[in-house]
Structure 1
């Protein structure tokens, strides 16, 4: 009796390659540099352009490398390297006022790296903006919630009001600029054969 051939080749699994690790380290270095551009504020939450960096790496390198790179950055900072804003380091930063913003970066970077593949380039670009803004909303929400939980002298409404005036408008502009720049940078890196 001849049995039908039921074997099939499974799709190759995406494992973390040496190339992925190199790019993740490079992305962590980029985030380290961008994180030092900050203005300390009396509230304890500095004004930074880190949202620009997270959006840029996600759009430029895609969701996987954006996720890996931001995780490497957070782990190195949590281990004590002074790579967070204002050259701070250690796990204490992640449980401080700004911790919620940092915790949500891998999610934001992954979302910024998503897009709808389409022959219609306008639709593809629009999807990048959409996913990036969803990532920004998650980032602002997570950051604001942890800040409100730790700021005994500020109510949740006070944190929300302050964020909407001091951070959110600036972060919206930074996200738009990062998407525009990231789309062009991704195309350039693909043409050069650096990224896929």
Structure 2
């Protein structure tokens, strides 16, 4: 009798720690959304296009949380790495990750992990603050990793040059896109959490 009770007690936590079929479907759909959003880009002379991919990663991680958000981003990155043309301007392959803009791409799972982090403090004001704070930090981490790889591989750009260019062309836009993604994603997350 005690053995039966023990297994019944452990079952919910085991199920809770695994990924359900609905969550798996959401992860796949989110990876597909990232692939679509990635095609919205404006080519630039520097070779680093202006995109709204940050919006996609921030939105997915806001809606799904750190676990599923980072998994969806990882699936997207891996699918692109094996050759599917799902990165910006229909690029794909390992060279897209190891090349000039690769750092911006392969750090998305890390960005999603940070963006999807939620703190429950007991204060609605603090909860709202952290709902925006972590995504902005995640965006800045992504910008830093991408910028460092860009500077390391570019022959005509120093770290200072990349940072200056990023502060002008990318970072302000990406912070605004991240804030919009959180604003859009939070009500979707609430609806979705009731369905799951």
TM-score for both structures, normalised by structure 2: 0.89
Q: Does 1:85 align with 2:88?
A: yes
1:21 aligned partner: 24
Q: Could you say which structure has the higher helix fraction?
A: 2
TM-score for both structures, normalised by structure 1: 0.89
Q: 1:115·1:125 contact (CA, 8 Å) conserved in 2?
A: no
Q: 1:37·1:48 contact (CA, 8 Å) conserved in 2?
A: yes
Q: Quick one: which of 131, 135, 138 aligns to 1:135?
A: 138
Q: Distance in 1 between matches of 2:119 and 2:19?
A: 24
Give 1:54 deviation, angstroms.
0.5
CA RMSD of aligned residues (A): 1.7
Q: Does 1:114 align with 2:123?
A: no
Q: Quick one: which of 56, 59, 65 aligns to 1:53?
A: 56
Alignment gaps of 5+ in structure 2: 1-5
Q: Deviations over 1:2-46 (max 9, x none)?
A: xxxxx9966537223433322221011000010000000010100
Q: Distance in 2 between matches of 1:14 and 1:187?
A: 20
2:65 aligned partner: 62
1:99 aligned partner: 102
Q: Distance in 2 between matches of 1:82 and 1:45?
A: 17
2:3 aligned partner: none
Q: Distance in 1 between matches of 2:78 and 2:170?
A: 25
Q: Distance in 1 between matches of 2:191 and 2:35?
A: 23
- Alignment length (residue pairs): 187
Q: Label 1:189 to 1:16 Cα distance change in 2 as closer, same or farther (>3 A).
A: closer
Q: Does 1:39 align with 2:74?
A: no
